[in-house]
Amino acid sequence: MNHVKKLLNGRSLVLVGMMGVGKSTVGRRLAKKLSLPFVDADEAIEEAAGMHISEIFENFGESYFREGETRVIQRLIAEGPAVIATGGGAFINDITRQSILDSSLSIWLNADINILVDRVSRRNHRPLLHGKDPETVLRDLAEKRDPFYAKADYMVMSNNAPHERTVSEIFATLLADKIEI
Whether 21 has a binding-site annotation, put simply, is: yes
**57 neighbors 94 (Cβ within 8 angstroms):** no
Neighbours of 77 (CB within 10 A): 22
Q: Which amino acid is at 84?
A: I
140 is in an annotated binding site: no
In sequence order, the β-bridge partners of residue 105 are: 13
Is 11 part of any known ligand binding site? no
22 labeled part of a ligand binding site: yes
* 24 annotated binding-site participant: yes
Q: Is 145 annotated as a binding residue?
A: yes
Q: Consult the annotation and say whether 23 binds a ligand.
A: yes
Dihedral (CA of 26, 159, 88, 137) sign: negative
Annotated binding site for substrate: 42, 66, 88, 145
> Which residues participate in the annotated binding site for ATP?
20-25, 126
Binding residue positions for Mg(2+) = 24
